[in-house]
């Protein structure tokens, strides 16, 4: 049957993401973030998306999210570490995690063609076509690159690359990753030409239905909460 979010109109899901981001920026208190956390849990359940999967997919941003509060709590003199100074950046980092969870739910439940159709509906004309094309390329190309990087790391580990220093491992992964990116880009360009890539292909029709009513009501509630 599929997840509930899969049957929603992609335009509604895009508007929900935008309004949720505004709500996360408007309500920065622990109470507000707790309410948003409950809402994120509902979103993930409706998308049948595990929070552990989200954290695993976005693990590359965690050093920055964790480093911000740690750096803010450090001082140049005694007592050297002030935990209270880490609270505001920690709340900001948590807001980013909540927004990433909502974005991950959208990506898991929305086909690329529907995302492109929604963007070209929101931004008409050639700019919308260019933007929709770019988003479609990113959605299709980025997972391939991520899989390539995982394969490179696994190959290095299988050859006892973990015994090397961190700088050497970064150099190996970076060099092999850049080479794989250029190779994938050439293959991708050839595939577009072979398939007679068009700027304005026939995209799936979009229509708001009764299934979207709960999401629209939730969007209206979030908008009202933003301005409260």
Distance, CA of 40 to CA of 191 (rounded, Å) = 38
pLDDT value at 34 more than 60: yes
Reference 105, options 31, 223, 20; nearest CA is 20
User: Does the structure show a pLDDT above 80 at 33?
Assistant: yes
Q: What are the phi and psi torsion angles at 150 (to 5°)?
A: -60, -40
Q: Which residues does 20 contact at the CB level (< 8 Å), separation at least 6?
A: 36, 39, 98, 99, 102, 222
Eight-state DSSP code of residue 204: P
Entry pTM: 0.73
pLDDT per position as a tens digit, 106-135:
888 888 888 888 888 888 777 777 777 777
pLDDT(200) > 80: no
Band (pLDDT 50/70/90 cuts) for residue 38 is: very high
Domain ranges of the chain: 4-111+204-226
**Which residues touch 25 (CB under 8 Å, ≥6 apart)?**
95
């Amino acid at each position: 049957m599929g997840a509930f979010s899969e049957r929603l109109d992609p335009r509604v899901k895009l508007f929900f993401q935008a309004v949720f981001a505004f709500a996360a920026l408007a309500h920065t208190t622990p109470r507000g973030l707790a309410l948003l956390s409950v809402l994120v849990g509902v979103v993930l359940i409706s998308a049948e998306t595990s929070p552990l999967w989200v954290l695993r997919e976005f693990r590359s941003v965690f050093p920055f999210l964790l480093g911000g509060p740690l750096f803010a709590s450090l001082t140049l003199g005694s007592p050297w570490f002030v935990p209270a100074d880490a609270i505001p950046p920690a709340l900001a980092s948590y807001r980013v995690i909540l927004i990433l969870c909502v974005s991950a739910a959208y990506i898991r439940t929305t086909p690329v063609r529907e995302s492109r159709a929604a963007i070209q509906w929101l931004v008409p004309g050639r700019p919308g076509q260019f933007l929709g094309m770019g988003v479609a390329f990113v959605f299709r190309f980025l997972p391939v690159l991520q899989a390539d990087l995982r394969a490179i790391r696994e190959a290095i580990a299988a050859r006892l690359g973990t015994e090397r220093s961190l700088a050497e491992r970064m150099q190996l992964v970076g060099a092999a990753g850049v080479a794989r990116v250029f190779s994938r880009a050439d293959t991708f360009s050839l595939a577009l030409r072979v398939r007679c890539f068009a700027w304005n292909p026939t995209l799936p029709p979009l229509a708001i239905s009764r299934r979207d009513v709960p999401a629209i009501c939730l969007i209206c509630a979030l908008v009202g909460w933003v301005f409260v």
